[in-house]
């Protein structure tokens, strides 16, 4: 169902809900019918099933066959079953080690799931209740505030500057402003791309700014993230490179051992000439002994021990590995396809460049004209990612937001609007009233009649505007997100806090360029690759 194409009242009707939310009775009934709001998990294998899978490994099968042959040979010659005992001990140890490692990994993963179990705010019987996210049902009215994790797919019914970070689904590190209006399809368009559905919020995304309400339309495996999980479940599981090599080795060894044993058996009979029953038995036992000796009984145990060492080393680096073979598989990876946001990059906007003649004023204005907060003992700001970057930028300039807020209290504001692409805040500063306005550079510069030049206010000219726009484009061409800032002074408090009244005749301060920087590990890995290539090139040069 394309709820983003429906009016709010129509959506509420289709999910049989209302603005006051469901009653507890309705919620319980729906949960019984539709199940929990969580992704389905594969059924856990029984210990018996795991043991059978372990035994069905080609190398283990070969060892068990060897054990059977050794038992036959020992019985025929009335010798002790020492070889049989050793082979079976190897098989048992190999199986137990694999089971123990898998059990440890599963226990750790289950503990992490319990630790990260989220809670959600919903309206039940018209009252606000905080429940487990897995108890959310279709039709619930969820309350969304900055920092909340969206528990299910939902249609937005109320938005107060609501912004959502959807990197987990779209890969975009910048937040998306949410609206309540109906969306319309373009010509020849069957559906609107996920990243452009601005009146919907999706499970797995995070509220980065503002607040709002939404009515749940899909839960569990029916959500967008659930569909991704389902496609992963349906993906065919392939054997690992190690399993493939071990299977090939088992087949090759089996063929060679059988061939040599037959050859030895035939040659031994032909050499004696006079074939008797005793000769056949002795020759058979010799061929069997040769076969047993040729099979590397210790190989599976050695492989398991080596893989266990690898698992232990990974665990020390906080990497949980459930299957032992995954260690070797990771080492065989040649290409990794990954979304950059949060994987190659830090998923954290950071100011990397500025264009201004008054860096201190620019940092101060950007921080004051933001809703993000930062505590005295914290390095990271809390709020919308872009504003977090501005507040952290100001702190690096020795202007922490908590001190600025105390010294220059906000007395009014005009919230950010996606149509204006601007935000303004008004502050008291040493008996003066000062307004700071930040937003898109190409829009803000056209509202400025002056600009700061070496501490002096100079009239804005078309030449200066063109220069500002040119530098703005240069920043954009570097893949930087640009935000500009300006200010304006008043003799007394404004009587109206409206954009048309206040956002004009501004004094341009400058702008900053932000980007989601690469993780430090990416730079280290790149340096290692360059060093490796350099060495290779040197080694391959002709004298």
pLDDT in tens, 86-117: 778 877 877 777 777 677 666 665 665 554 45
* Angle of the 299-316 helix axis to the 58-77 helix axis, nearest 10: 140
pLDDT in tens, 147-172: 788 999 999 999 887 889 888 788 77
Q: Domain spanning 47-112+238-331: which CATH class is it, in words?
A: mainly alpha
Write the DSSP symbol of residue 296: -
In 3D, which of 390, 331, 361, 399 has the Cα closest to residue 509? 361
Quick one: 249 exposed, middle or buried, by C-beta within 10 A (0-12, 13-18, 19+)? middle
What is the spatial distance between Cα 498 and Cα 390, in angstroms, rounded to a whole number? Answer: 24
> Residues near 176 by Cβ (< 8 Å), separated by ≥ 6?
163, 164, 165, 166, 195, 198
- The confidence score (pLDDT) of residue 441 equals 94
Quick one: 449 exposed, middle or buried, by C-beta within 10 A (0-12, 13-18, 19+)? middle
Q: What is the arithmetic mean of pLDDT over 210-229?
A: 88
pTM of the model: 0.53
DSSP H/E element including 141: strand 141-145
Using CA atoms, how far residue 507 sits from 360, 456, 471, in Å, is 15, 11, 18
Quick one: 454 exposed, middle or buried, by C-beta within 10 A (0-12, 13-18, 19+)? exposed
The torsion region of residue 465 among left (phi > 0), alpha (psi -120 to 50) and beta comes to alpha
| pLDDT > 70: percent of the chain | 84
Tokens of 336: 């990794």
Higher-scoring residue by pLDDT: 382, 439 = 439
Residue with structure tokens 């206010």? 457
pLDDT bracket for residue 436 (50, 70, 90): very high
DSSP H/E element including 416: strand 410-417
In 3D, which of 193, 158, 194, 204 has the Cα closest to residue 178? 158
pLDDT bracket for residue 219 (50, 70, 90): very high
Could you tell me the residue ranges of all domains in the chain?
Answer: 3-37+136-234, 47-112+238-331, 350-515
Residues 242, 328: contact at Cβ < 8 Å?
yes
- The confidence score (pLDDT) of residue 113 equals 54
- 215 beta partners: 141, 155
- The confidence score (pLDDT) of residue 532 equals 46
- The confidence score (pLDDT) of residue 541 equals 34
pLDDT in tens, 236-265: 666 667 777 777 877 787 788 778 878 887
Which residues are catalytically annotated?
339
What is the spatial distance between Cα 320 and Cα 257, in angstroms, rounded to a whole number? Answer: 39
The DSSP string of 107-135 is: HHHHHHHHHT--EEEEEETTEEEEEEGGG
Q: Say yes or no to pLDDT of 69 above 60.
A: yes
Quick one: 85 exposed, middle or buried, by C-beta within 10 A (0-12, 13-18, 19+)? middle
Q: What is the arithmetic mean of pLDDT over 119-137?
A: 89
Tokens of 89: 């001990």
pLDDT bracket for residue 459 (50, 70, 90): very high
pLDDT in tens, 278-324: 677 677 767 766 766 676 766 776 777 777 777 777 777 777 776 77
Higher-scoring residue by pLDDT: 522, 313 = 313
Residues 119, 133: contact at Cβ < 8 Å?
yes
pLDDT bracket for residue 535 (50, 70, 90): very low
Residue with structure tokens 């065989």? 332
Mean of the per-residue pLDDT values for the chain?
82
User: CATH: 2.70.150.10, 3.90.1200.10, 3.30.70.100, 3.40.120.10. Which one for 3-37+136-234?
Assistant: 2.70.150.10
- The confidence score (pLDDT) of residue 510 equals 95
Write the DSSP symbol of residue 276: -
What is the spatial distance between Cα 63 and Cα 212, in angstroms, rounded to a whole number? Answer: 64
DSSP H/E element including 406: helix 401-407
User: CATH: 3.40.1110.10, 3.40.30.10, 3.90.1150.10, 3.40.630.30. Which one for 350-515?
Assistant: 3.40.1110.10
Q: Say yes or no to pLDDT of 491 above 80.
A: yes
Q: Say yes or no to pLDDT of 145 above 70.
A: yes
Q: Helix H segments across 116-220?
A: 167-170
Where are the strands (E) in 279-387, listed by range?
Answer: 350-356
Write the DSSP symbol of residue 193: -
């Amino acid at each position: 169902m394309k709820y983003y194409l429906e009016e709010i009242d129509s959506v509420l009707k289709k999910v049989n809900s209302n603005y006051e939310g469901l009653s507890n009775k309705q919620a319980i009934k729906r949960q019984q019918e539709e199940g929990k709001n969580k992704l389905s998990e594969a059924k856990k294998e029984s210990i018996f099933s795991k043991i059978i899978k372990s035994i069905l490994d080609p190398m283990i099968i070969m060892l068990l066959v060897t054990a059977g042959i050794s038992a036959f040979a020992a019985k025929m010659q009335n010798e002790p079953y020492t070889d049989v005992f050793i082979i079976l001990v190897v098989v048992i140890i190999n199986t137990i080690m694999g089971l123990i490692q898998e059990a440890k990994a599963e226990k750790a993963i289950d503990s992490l799931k319990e630790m990260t179990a989220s809670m959600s705010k919903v309206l039940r019987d018209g009252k606000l209740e905080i429940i487990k996210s897995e108890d959310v049902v279709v039709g619930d009215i969820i309350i969304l505030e900055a920092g909340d994790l969206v528990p299910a797919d939902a249609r937005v019914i109320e938005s107060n500057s609501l912004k959502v970070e959807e990197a987990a689904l779209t890969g975009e590190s910048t937040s998306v402003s949410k609206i309540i209006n109906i969306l319309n399809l373009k010509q020849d368009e069957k559906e609107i791309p996920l990243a452009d559905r601005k009146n919907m919020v999706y499970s797995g995304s995070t509220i980065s700014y503002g607040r709002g309400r939404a009515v749940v339309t899909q839960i569990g495996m029916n959500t967008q993230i659930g569909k991704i999980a389902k496609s992963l479940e349906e993906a065919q599981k392939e054997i690992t490179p190690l399993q493939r090599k071990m299977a090939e080795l088992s087949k090759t060894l089996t063929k060679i051992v059988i061939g040599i044993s037959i050859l030895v058996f035939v040659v031994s009979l032909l050499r004696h000439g006079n074939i008797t029953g005793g000769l056949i038995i002795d020759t058979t036992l010799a061929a069997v002994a040769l076969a047993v000796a040729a099979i590397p009984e210790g190989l599976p145990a050695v492989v398991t021990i080596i893989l266990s060492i690898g698992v232990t080393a990974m665990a020390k680096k906080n990497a949980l590995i459930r299957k032992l073979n995954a260690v070797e598989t990771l080492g065989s990876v040649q290409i990794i396809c990954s979304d950059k946001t949060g994987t190659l990059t830090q998923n954290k906007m950071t100011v990397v460049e500025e264009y201004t003649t008054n860096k201190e004023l620019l940092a101060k204005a950007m921080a004051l004209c933001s809703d993000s907060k930062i505590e005295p003992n914290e390095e990271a700001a809390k709020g919308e990612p872009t504003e977090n970057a501005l507040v952290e930028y100001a702190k690096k300039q020795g202007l922490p937001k908590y001190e600025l807020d105390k010294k220059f209290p906000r007395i009014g504001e005009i919230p950010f609007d996606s149509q204006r692409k601007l935000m303004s805040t008004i502050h008291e500063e040493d008996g003066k009233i000062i307004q700071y306005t930040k937003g898109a550079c190409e829009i803000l510069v056209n509202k400025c009649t002056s600009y700061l030049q070496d501490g002096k206010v100079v009239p804005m000219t078309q030449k200066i505007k063109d220069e500002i726009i040119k530098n703005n484009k240069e920043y954009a061409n570097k893949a930087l997100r640009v935000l500009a800032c300006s200010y304006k002074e008043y003799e007394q408090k404004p009587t109206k806090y409206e954009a048309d009244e206040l956002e004009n005749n501004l004094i341009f301060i400058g702008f900053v360029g932000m980007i989601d920087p690469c993780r430090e590990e990416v730079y280290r890995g790149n340096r290692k690759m360059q060093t490796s290539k350099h060495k290779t090139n040197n080694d391959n040069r002709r004298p």
